[in-house]
Structure 1
């Protein structure tokens, strides 16, 4: 299959297995969830009634004072422990390399079917100017949340996009499923397409 190159009469031949495969919603969902979970710190911690700072001495007499109770470290008292206290843990989910690559290819294929991939010959900026990047993106009609993928993200491009909250710049090595799924459209250079094909082959 071939992808049309924006502002050019030529096309770019690409692999059917990467840009034309069937979309697997279950696989993509599993990989996206696993990727996001891998970024979670998992450091939340609470104290049980045995860990809170306080005496375990019986707070009042057993009889004659209303409800009977022992230590004030119990969960029903303010300052007491937590019944099912959260402890630090890992949220990591195992996703093998084959599944990860298949999910990336599945997302790229769906973006291509929806016409949300714009292939360009190059995406270089002569100077670090946010205004220049805005004009370039406006000409491409990429929507509010574009993802720009180049072979190796140039410094001028990265710095120009830094002040734009919804514009992301990635090189092929930094491409991930969450960035692809969250983008309105993906602007990708021809060199980046070739590098992605080498990666996912």
Structure 2
């Protein structure tokens, strides 16, 4: 298949397997959830009743005082332990490389079908000025894009840093969450070729 290149009369020939794959919502959902879970710290920790500092002495007699209690570390008391205390854990889920690549292919293909994938010859700014990048995006009529370059310049990264809905990634830093969250994806022709090599 061929992709239209903005600012060029010559289309870009690409693989159907990467840019024309059928969309699988279940696969994409599984990979996106796994990717986000892998970024979780999992450092939450609470104390059980056996870990709370304090005496284990029975603080009142068994009978004659209403409810029966052993010690103040029980979960029903303020300062007591937590019933089902959270402990540090790893949230990572196993995703095969083949599944991961298939999900990225499916997302890119769906973006292409919806007309949200824009291919340009090159994308850069002369100086690290947010105003220059905003003007360039307004010229293209695109807001909230994910810009994917083969190796983005420092000026482009710095220009986009202050825009909350604009992300700049190189091909190595491309991930399914960034692709799913982008309203439009602007990709340079060189980046398209690198993505094709990676996912083929």
TM (norm. structure 2) is: 0.98
Aligned to 1:21: 21
State the match for 2:164 in structure 1: 165
| Match in the other structure for 1:7 | 7
Q: Match for residue 63 of structure 1?
A: 63
Q: Give, in whole Å, the separation in 2 of the partners of 1:88 and 1:141.
A: 46
Structure 2: distance between partners of 1:70 and 1:48:
15
Cα displacement (A) at 1:174: 0.2
Paired residues in the alignment total 200
- Displacement of 1:8 in angstroms is 2.2
Q: How many Å separate the matches in 2 of 1:32 and 1:73?
A: 41
2:127 is paired with a residue of what secondary structure?
A: coil
How far off is 1:64 after superposition?
2.4
SS at match of 2:74: coil
* Structure 1 stretches of 4+ moved >3 Å: none
Q: CA–CA distance in 2 between the matches of 1:54 and 1:140? A: 66
Q: Which runs of 5+ in 1 are unaligned?
A: none
State whether structure 2 residue 127 is matched by structure 1 residue 124. Answer: no
Partner secondary structure for residue 188 of structure 1: strand
Q: Deviations over 1:95-141 (max 9, x none)?
A: 01111111100000000000000100000111111100001111112
RMSD (Å), alpha carbons: 0.8
Please, which runs of 5 or more residues in structure 2 have no aligned partner?
Answer: none
Q: TM-score, normalised to structure 1's length?
A: 0.98
**1:7: Cα distance to partner?**
2.4
Map residues 15-164 of structure 1 onto 2, 5 A cutoff: 15-143=15-143, 145-164=144-163
